[in-house]
Amino acid sequence: MSLVCSAATKRRALACTLLDRLAAAAPTESGAPGQLVSLEESAGRDYLLGILDALTFLGALRQTADGLGASVVSPQAGWTLRLLNDLLDSGAPLIADWHSPGVTACQPFRRSGDLLAALEARRREVLPQAAPVREVEAAVGVIARAEERDDPRFLLAFDADAGAWQLPGGRRARTDPSIEATLLRELHEELGLQRTRVPDDLTLRPLPPLIAVRDSPTYGVRTRTRFYPFVVTLHQGAPAGEGVRWFGEAELRAGRGSDGRRIDAGPLLYLLERTDLDLAGWGYDRSVPAP
């Protein structure tokens, strides 16, 4: 019995090492290409090749012509491999209960995010303190105005992928020369600003960065995000359209707007609670009424 357990333990260790190598070699969200992982000189090669075949069947890998190497197809596939590695290393089964009838999930695995969220939910059951599988840098813009009663309102953009209203901004791309460039690109894309020259069209004032560890609203996996917030003062008319809206602090804290859609404004709420920040200097614009 102990020999069987020892052999299984060795195989599991080999599989975890392979999954770790593949996840580390995956392409990144910022655009860095993935690296080829070769098994030519690997111990237990035949066993590991079978794992490569299974992962290729799932669509997570692209194998070389000789079948002795593989590359990960996307960052999402890399996160999935990291989740599988943690679950396999824990020794807990992926499915906790094979006996209960019925289904507990109504969504089939149509997209990679569905599988990622399901694996992450199971990993969190088995390993509540598991480390994030995803790390990103993001720039966000705080655009504020004040009502006559000095009630601050904040401009949010709707993120269809996340299904929520959020501060305008997004992840830093590999091609962005700076985090400020990331924000200017996102303001152009999300708010439809045609001109984003600094200081002619707008001014940016950096606020202290903050780090948040949370489940990604887009992918459902635990993500460590380093946010770089900026106070944005527009020198042009406020953007308008279905995808942008002004929100008061009460709606932000409630987490849902009057339209019924979710609000994900964690970084902004954190900044509002910082007593050492000069909120009066947030560039409130009284000249443009909120729609």
- pLDDT tens-digit series, residues 10-54: 999 999 999 999 999 999 988 889 999 999 888 889 999 999 999
The answer to whether residues 158 and 124 touch, using CB atoms and an 8 Å cutoff, is: no
Helix axes 112-126, 75-90, angle to 10 degrees: 30
Q: How far apart are CA 118 and CA 228, in angstroms?
A: 30
Radius of gyration for the chain, computed over Cα atoms and rounded to the nearest angstrom: 23
Q: Among candidates 121, 83, 87, which has minimal Cα distance to 105?
A: 121
Q: Minimum mean pLDDT among 65-74, 89-98, 178-187, 261-270: which range?
A: 89-98
pTM: 0.76
CA distances from 119 to 2, 11, 100, 115 (A): 30, 21, 19, 6
Q: Kindly report the average pLDDT of the chain as a whole number.
A: 87
Structure tokens at 93: 């089964």
Q: How far apart are CA 123 and CA 177, in angstroms?
A: 36
Given a cut of 70, is residue 279 above it in pLDDT? no
Question: For residue 228, what are the contacts with CB-CB under 8 A and spacing of at least 6?
Answer: 137, 138, 139, 140, 179, 183, 206, 209
Q: Give tens-digit pLDDT for 188-211.
A: 999 988 888 999 899 999 999 999
